[in-house]
Amino acid sequence: MKLSVLAERLDGKLLGPDRNAEVAGVSTLHDAGPDQVCYYGNRVYRNLLASTRALAVIVGEVVETSSPNTILVTHPYKAFREALLIFRRETPSGFDGIHPAAVVHGGAVLADNVTVGPGSSVDYGASIGSGTVIGSGSHVGPGTSVGSDCMVYSGVNIYHDCVIGNRVIVHSGAVIGSDGFGFVPDPRGHLKVPQNGGVVIEDDVEIGAGCTIDRAVVGNTRIGRFTKLDNLVHVAHNVIIGPGCLVAAQTGFAGSTTVGSGVTFGGQAGIAGHISIGDRAVIAAQAGVSKDVPPGVTVSGYPARSHEKALRMNAALIDLPEFRRRVLDFLREYRKQEEDGR
């Protein structure tokens, strides 16, 4: 694609002499070659602007760069995403339709254009919508519904009586519908609480590799539309996560917590059970949230508190050794003066 055409596709303004140069792909500021474009949007990488060999850099403002061309856009990261889509390499599977090594129960219902890879199984009463791909070695349990145009990668286990919406992506190693962690203490040992509910994954959700989403005791564990879970996220029984949330890796939700819409969770955040997190709240990385978070509030630290307060406390901790030394010096001087006064 000519550079000028790419700039038009990105709704950008091309600054530079090489309008007719051919673009071969997208790379990073560090690795881009003279026939590739790259993206600059974080000042951490500003020093690389002077050494990049890229044909053009996608930017949100005019910058000085060794690249002969820049593409000036309103939203650089969004334009970068569009460029990645344009130059995305197709990775078609060699398997199409229902593989002979797949096991599909006669009581399952599969729509047109469904792919079920080798070693996968679709159990009794399950249904799979049009255009959905079930990768190799995956399992769709009895009574589970998977919508249209979903991508279930290899090695995914979806238990019984789950509902998966349309255009859902589930990465390898994810387990959906496993039993929640519920036991009653008893002299004979811990008695398992039956987990009789289900899991509902709404449309356009993405579930990262190695995620575990437990089924409800009764009712449903629910992941709202357009919510994205990073790898290794755990969602316990009866948790409700609203639409449009972003959950970074290794975050864990204890049971029966309710999360509003548009909430962001940093990596390794821990969320206690039976609490509520309001719309558009931000939970910082490694925060330990033990009580309700109001809408729009940013919290951090352990236990989690308002981010501003947590920053002040951290700043005070930095000064604590020096403060302690000064107090001890004062006490020694005070005692010396007392002794001299005697």
> What is the pLDDT, as a whole number, of residue 205?
98
Identify the active-site residue in 160, 234, 237, 274.
237
Cβ neighbourhood burial of 336 (10 Å; 0-12, 13-18, 19+): exposed
Place of tokens 């409700």: 240
Which residue, among 14, 17, 56, has the nearest Cα to 33 in the 3D structure? 56
CB 254 within 8 A of CB 233: no
> What is the pLDDT, as a whole number, of residue 342?
64
Place of tokens 């206690």: 272
Residues 6+ apart with CB under 8 A from 97: 114, 115, 116
> What is the pLDDT, as a whole number, of residue 94?
74
- Other C-beta atoms closer than 10 Å to the C-beta of 308 total 10
CB 200 within 8 A of CB 220: yes
User: Is 160 designated active site?
Assistant: no
Torsion of CA 122, 123, 127, 128, to 10 degrees: -10
> What is the pLDDT, as a whole number, of residue 170?
98
CB 187 within 8 A of CB 153: no
Alpha carbon distance 205, 209 (integer Å): 13
Residue type, 97: G
Q: Give the full edge-to-edge strand order of the sheet including 103-104.
A: 103-104, 121-122, 139-140, 157-158, 175-178, 212-214, 234-235, 252-253, 270-271, 288-289
> What is the pLDDT, as a whole number, of residue 330?
87
Residues 6+ apart with CB under 8 A from 62: 15, 70, 72
Alpha carbon distance 174, 151 (integer Å): 12
Alpha carbon distance 308, 287 (integer Å): 14
Alpha carbon distance 48, 55 (integer Å): 14
- pTM for the complete prediction? 0.86
What tokens appear for 84 in the block?
A: 């990645």
One pLDDT digit (tens) per residue for the chain, 342 residues: 999 999 999 999 999 999 999 999 999 999 999 999 999 999 999 999 999 999 999 999 999 999 999 999 999 999 999 999 999 987 767 778 999 999 999 999 999 999 999 999 999 999 999 999 999 999 999 999 999 999 999 999 999 999 999 999 999 999 999 999 999 999 999 999 999 999 999 999 999 999 999 999 999 999 999 999 999 999 999 999 999 999 999 999 999 999 999 999 999 999 999 999 999 999 999 999 999 999 999 999 887 877 777 777 777 778 888 888 888 888 888 888 878 776
CB 284 within 8 A of CB 246: no
